[in-house]
Each structure stands twice: as C-alpha cells, then as structure tokens.
C-alpha cells in the first residue's frame, strides 16, 4: 500500500475532517466531505477533490495510519 499523508481541520480530537492529502506524489485539495462514518477500528471519509474525483480516506488509530482508495464510477 502506498503511503498517504492527510492534513485535517484543527480540533480537539484527531482526526477531524480531511482538508488536503498527499498520495502517489500528488497533492489533492478536498473540495467537499461527502460522507463520514465510524468503523470498529477507525473512521472513514468519502471526499471529492477540486477536479471532481472521489476518494475514500480511512484512519486507523491503533496503527496511526491513513489508507486511501480512489473511487471509480
């Protein structure tokens, strides 16, 4: 799995909603958080970027890692 870095909005808890993520050598600005959900071992976000692409970002706190998946219609 490729490394991903996610920059989130500030807040008392981590993670807050993602604002920017870096993946596969590119930097993506999050235009909109479309959906947020809780998992037994983390939290997930479905986001759209400025170019209209959609991604699923999942944070796994036990391992302190983010995962990213490009969503294709």
pLDDT of residue 14: 73
Q: What is the pLDDT along the chain (73 residues), one digit of tens a residue?
A: 578 999 998 776 777 899 999 999 999 999 999 999 999 999 999 999 999 999 999 999 999 999 999 998 6
Number of domains in the chain: 1
Burial class (CB in 10 A: 0-12, 13-18, 19+), 24: exposed
Instruction: Name the nearest CA neighbour of 47 among 66, 33, 27.
Output: 33
Domain residue limits at 22: 4-71
Q: How far is CA 4 from its chain centroid?
A: 9
Residue with tokens 């993946």: 23
Please state the pTM of the whole predicted model: 0.88
């Amino acid at each position: 799995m490729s490394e991903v870095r996610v920059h989130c909005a500030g807040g008392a808890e981590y993670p807050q909603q993602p604002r920017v993520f870096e993946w596969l050598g590119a930097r993506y600005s999050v235009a909109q958080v479309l959906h947020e959900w809780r998992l037994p071992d983390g939290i997930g976000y479905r986001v759209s970027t400025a170019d209209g692409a959609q991604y699923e970002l999942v944070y796994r706190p036990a391992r302190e890692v983010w995962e990213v998946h490009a969503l294709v219609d």
